[in-house]
Amino acid sequence: MAVAKEEQKAAPDKQKQDGKKKQEPEEELSDEDLELKKNIELMVERVKDSDAAIVKAALDAITKEIHTTTSSMTAVPKPLKFLRPHLETLISTFEAMPAGPNRQTLADVLSLLTSTVAGKEGEREGLRFKLQGNTSDLETWGHEYMRHLAGEIAEEYKDRHEKEQPVDDLLHLVAQIVPYHMTHNAEPEAVDLLLEVDQLDKLEQHVDDKNYARTCLYLVSCCTYLPEPEDTQVLQLAHRVYMAQHKYHDALRVALRLNEPATIEATFAACSDVLERRQLGYLLARHGAWGAINLEEGPAAVEDEAEREALREIISNSKLSEHFLALARDLDVMEPKVPEDVYKSHLTDGRQPAGAALDSARQNLASTFVNAFVNAGYGQDKLVTVSTEGNDTVHWIFKNKDHGKTSATASLGLISLWDVEGGLPLIDKYLYSNDNAVVAGALLATGLVNCGVQNENDPAFALISDYVSNADAGIRSAFALISDYVSNADAGIRSGAILGLGLAYAGTQREEVQELLVPLVLDSDQTMEVAGLAALALGLVFSSSCKEDVVEALLTALMSRGETELSGVWAKFLVLGLGLLFLGKQEVVEPTLEIAKTLAECVSKYAQVVLDGCAYAGSGNVLKVQELLALCGEHIETEEATAWKSKPVAFGGLACGTSSGKALKVQELLALCGEHIETEEATAWKAVHQGPAVLGIALIAMAEPLGAQMATRMLEHLLSYGEPPVRRCVPLALALLHVSDPAQQVVDALSRLSHDADTEAAQNAVLALGIVGAGTNNARLAGILRGLASYYYKEPSLLFLVRAAQGLAHMGKGLIGLSPIHTDKQLLSGVALSGLLAVLTACQDLKATIGAKHHYLLYCLATAMKPRMLLTVDNEGQLLSVPVRVGQAVDVVAQAGRPKTITGFQTHTTPVLMSAGERAELGSFQTHTTPVLMSAGERAELGSEKYLPLTPILEGTVILKTNPDYVELAE
C-alpha cells in the first residue's frame, strides 16, 4: 500500500515535468539558418543521386559551406551541425559509391563530420575515412580537425606497431600535420605526435628562429614524464636545436641536465663571445661542474691568457665571497649574531631549558652549530673568531669537551666559507695544537673554507711536501694542509682529514684524492669509521662520475668485510659513497646493481635500494617509484614482531627463583635460557633497506613540481600505514622534497611528527624542520622550534637537534639556502645533493652518528650552501645596480601567445634575495635595485630595456650589457 501511495504522489510530478518539456519551444532558427538547413538537406539528397556530375556538384557545395563558415571556438560550425542527423545516410551512401574522386571527397567530408561526433572507444572513424579520401590537403579542414586526426593517428600507430603491421600511410599524414602545427603556434602538439609515432628526429627540420623557444621549452619540460631512453633523446634534441640557434646558455643548461661531460665541454667551446662565455662560467660554478671544463687544452682551451684567468676565476667561484658580502652589506646584516639572537628565550612561555636538567657541554655544542650556521660566510662572529689573547677568558673552543672541540674548531671553516685567503690564517694556528680533537677540527675547517671554491694554484702531488713545509698559510693548498694527516695514528685526526678532503674537493674529480683515499677503503685493518668516511669523501669528490677504479675499490671493500662490520652504521656510508658515484646516471648503474646482489645478505638489499635511488635522482621515473613503494609496504618481522618470543626466559628466571629446586626443572629452564631467539639485534638488518627506499621516492621525485606533490601525498599514506623503519624516514623524505622551501602543509606535518611517540621519528622530524626552513628566516617555523625547545628542555639529545634546526632556519642570517635545485628549478646539482644525502644517511642512525660523537657530519651541508640572490655585474665584473621585478614563477609551458612569466611581482634593485619558486625580470617602475634576495618559487625579470642580460634566467650572478637600441625618454 505504501508503495502505491508513493507512486500516486510521483505521478502528478511526472506529468508536470512532461508538460514542461512539451511547453519548451524547439530551438528557433533564423531565416539564414533555415535556408542553410534546407540547402544541406537538399545536397544530402543529391549526394545519393546516380549521376556523378550531380553528386560532384552537391559535394562541392557542402565542402564550400564548411570552408567558408564562421563560428566561435566553442561551437560546432552550422553546416556540420545540420549534417549530423544525416551521418548514417552519408555513410551508407559512401559504402555503396564506386571508387573515384566523388568517393574521396565524400570520405573527406565524413572524416570531418565524424570528428565532431562522440563515437565508440577505439573506432577512429575520422582516420578511417581520411585514409580513403584525399590525403594531401589536411590543412584546408582547420586546426581542430588536425588535432583530432593526430590523436587517432597516435592510437592507430600503437595498435599497428603491436601487431607489426605497416604504418607508411599514417606517417604520410604525420608528415603534413607536423609542419602545420609548427607554423601555427601548436609546437607541443607536433612534439606529442612525433613522440607517439617514434619519429622525434623529424622535428629538427621544422624548427626555426620563430618557434624554437616554445618547442624546446616543451621538450625540456616533458622529458620528466617520458620513459627511458626517450627522456634522454628529448634532451639531446633540445640541445641540438639550441646549438643550431646559437643559444649557448640554454644549450649548456640542457647539457648539464644530460650530465655528459663531453657535451658540456663541446657546448662551452662552441661559444665564441667573450661575455657570453663568462656567463656560462657562472652557470658551471653554480652547478658545481668545476671538473667539466679544461681551459688549458682540449676543445674548450682558451688561448688568451688574460681571458683564461678571468674564466678560471669565475668557474672556480673565487668571487663568491666578495659577491655574498656585497649582498650582506646592501641588506645591512653584517653585524655578527650570537646564538641567543636565534633562540629568543624571552619569547618562550613556560619551561626554560635551564638547571640540573641541562647538559652544559651539549648546550655549548648546540651553540657552536647555531653560531656557525647563522654567521656562515661572514668571516666574523662573537664566539670563535674573537681573540682571547691578553685576557683571562677561556676561548670558546676550549669550553667544549673532547669531540665537541672538533666541531667548535671546524665552525671556523663555515664562518669563513668561500673566503680561502681570509679563512686559512684563522685556522692555521689550530693545526699545531697539542689537543688532537682541535687538530681534527682545524683539518675539517680547512676543507670547509675551500668547499665550493676551487683554487687553481693547488700544487701537483709531487710538490705537496714543499708546500706543507711553507710557513705562509695563505698559499698552502687544502690538499697540502690536509693530506699528511690522513694517515695519522689518531682516529679523530684521520677522520677530520678525510672528511675535510672530501668537502674541499667535492665535485672536482681530483686524481690525487683518489690515490690518497682508495688505500684506506681497501685496507681491512682500518676501522669501519675510517673506511666509511673515506668512501663518503670519494663519493663527494667523484659525484656522478662513474669512476671505474673507485667503484671497483668500494665494491671490493664491501665484499671483504665481515657481516658484523657490514651490519654497523659506517657500512651505510660505504654504500652511500658507491651510490654517489652514479648520481643521476640512470641505466649506467645496472652492472653494479647486479654485483650488489651478490654482497652479504645484511647489506645487499640496502645497497641495491641506495644505488637505484641515487642513479635515478631527479629523473621522476614512475616505475622506480612504484618499486620503492612496494619495498616500503613490506611487513618485515623485527623487534616489535619477535620480542614476545623471549618473554618465557624472563618468566623462567622468576620460576627458577621460587621453585623447589628440582634438577629437572632447572635443566628445562636453562635450556630455555640457552635458546637462540631472533629479536631486534638479529633481525633489524632485514628492514634496513626500507629507510633508503622512502628517501629514494623523494630523491627520484624532487626535481619536478608535480612529482614532488604526488610523492608528498604518498609519504602521508606511508606515515599512516607504514612500519616503524618506514615512518622514521618519512620526515627526512619530506625535507628532501622541500629543501629551503617551508610550505605550510609540510611544516605542519613535521611539527606533528616532532611530538611523535617514536623518539627516532621525532628526532628526524626536528632536524627535517631545520632543512625545510634552511636560510628562510621563516617566522612561523621559528616559533614552532622555540616551542619545541621549551617542550624538550629535559631531553638533551632532542634539545640539541632543536637548536641545530634553529641555526639552519637562520642560516647566513637568511641569505644562504640549501636547495640543490637551481636555475629556475631546471637543474639539480649533484654536488649539493651529495652533501644533503650524507646528512640524511647519518639521520637513519642518529643515535650513533649526529647524536653521539660524529655531529660534525652536519657540516656536510656546506656542499649545498649557496647564496639565494640575484646579483648583476657589468662587462668588467663590477657590481651594477639595476631595477628588477621579482614575483612568483608562472608555468608558461605550452601556453598560447606570450604570457607573463611572473605574477604578484614587486620591484627591487639588485642585488636581490630570491626565495623558492620566485622569478625576477628587469623592471622600470616600482622597482627594487639589485642585489635582491630571492625566495622559493620566485622568478626575476629586468624591467628596463637599458640593459640586456646574457642569460634568459635571472638567478645568481648575471652579466648585463648595454642595449645599443635603448633611447632614454625624458620625463
Q: Cis peptide leading into 931, omega within 30 of 0?
A: yes
- Of 250-259, 722-731, 821-830, 927-936, the one with minimum mean pLDDT is 927-936
When pLDDT is cut at 50, 70 and 90, the band that residue 642 belongs to is very low
CA 719, CA 688: separation in Å to the nearest integer?
17
- Residue 485, pLDDT > 70, answer no
CA angle 547, 551, 555 (to 5 degrees): 175
User: Which of 467, 323, 342, 406 minimizes the C-alpha distance to 957?
Assistant: 323
Distance (Å, rounded) from C-alpha 411 to C-alpha 404?
Answer: 11
3-state SS assignment for residue 187: helix
245-278 pLDDT, tens digit each: 999 999 999 999 988 888 999 999 999 888 999 9
Supply the pLDDT for residue 475: 36
When pLDDT is cut at 50, 70 and 90, the band that residue 538 belongs to is very high
pTM of the model: 0.85
Q: Would you place residue 866 in the very low, low, confident or very high pLDDT band (cuts 50, 70, 90)?
A: very high
- Averaged pLDDT, 205-225: 88
CA 351 to chain centre: 40
Residue 162, Cβ neighbours under 10 Å: how many?
8
**All 3 cell numbers of residue 641?**
614482531
- Is residue 920 pLDDT above 80, yes or no? no
Least confident of 42-56, 61-75, 228-242, 545-559: 61-75
Contact between 415 and 385 (Cβ < 8 Å) = yes
For 755-770, the pLDDT digits (tens) are 988 899 999 999 999 9
Whether 969 shows a pLDDT value over 70: the answer reads no
CA distance 787 to 200: 56
pLDDT of 735 above 80: yes
Q: What is the pLDDT of residue 230?
A: 85
CA dihedral for 401, 402, 404, 409, sign (positive or negative): positive
d(CA 83, CA 62): 9
Q: Supply the mean pLDDT for the chain.
A: 80
pLDDT at 682 exceeding the cut of 60? no
The model's pLDDT over 776-799, given as tens digits with 9 standing for 90+, comes to 988 899 999 998 988 888 888 889
Task: Report pLDDT for 131.
Answer: 84
- Model pLDDT for residues 318-352, shown as the tens digit of each residue: 888 898 998 888 888 889 888 888 888 777 655 55
> What are 328's three cell numbers?
650582506
The pLDDT assigned to 863 comes to: 93
Q: Tell me which of 75-84, 458-467, 496-505, 724-733 is least confident.
A: 458-467
> Tens digit of pLDDT for each residue in 1-17?
444 444 444 455 544 45
Greater confidence, 610 or 669? 610
Determine the pLDDT at residue 62: 83
- Using 50, 70 and 90 to split pLDDT, how confident is the model at 75? low
Name the least confident of 292-296, 588-592, 909-913: 909-913
* Local structure of 827: helix, strand or coil: strand
Q: What is the pLDDT of residues 139-177, one digit of tens each?
A: 777 788 888 888 888 888 898 888 888 888 888 888 989
Residue with cell 668571487: 319
Task: For residue 694, name the pLDDT band (cuts at 50, 70, 90).
Answer: very high
The C-alpha angle with vertex 736 and arms to 341 and 739, in degrees rounded to 5, equals 40
- How do residues 553-608 score in pLDDT, each as one tens digit? 999 998 988 888 888 888 999 999 999 999 988 889 999 989 988 888 888 899 99
Ranges assigned E (strand) in 775-911? 816-817, 821-822, 827-828, 866-867, 869-873, 883-889, 902-909
Q: pLDDT-based confidence at 700, cuts 50/70/90?
A: very high
Question: Does the structure show a pLDDT above 70 at 480?
Answer: no
C-alpha cell at 98: 564506386
What pLDDT is stored for residue 67 in this prediction? 78
Q: State the pLDDT at residue 919.
A: 65
- pLDDT recorded at residue 352: 56
pLDDT tens track for 81-125: 887 788 888 888 888 888 888 888 888 888 888 888 776 776 788
Separation CA 169–CA 135 (nearest Å) = 9
Among candidate residues 637, 656, 589, the one with its CA nearest the CA of residue 616? 589
Contacts of 360 (CB under 8 A, 6+ apart): none
Confidence category of residue 970, pLDDT binned at 50, 70, 90: low
Specify the pLDDT at position 148. 87
> How far apart, in Å, are the Cα atoms of 575 and each of 327, 494, 521, 732, 844?
39, 20, 12, 18, 14
Q: How far apart are CA 406 and CA 437, in angstroms?
A: 5
Angle between helices 779-791 and 759-772 (to 10 degrees): 150
pLDDT over 90 percentage in the chain:
20
pLDDT at 646 over 90: no
Residue bearing the bigger pLDDT, 349 or 718: 718
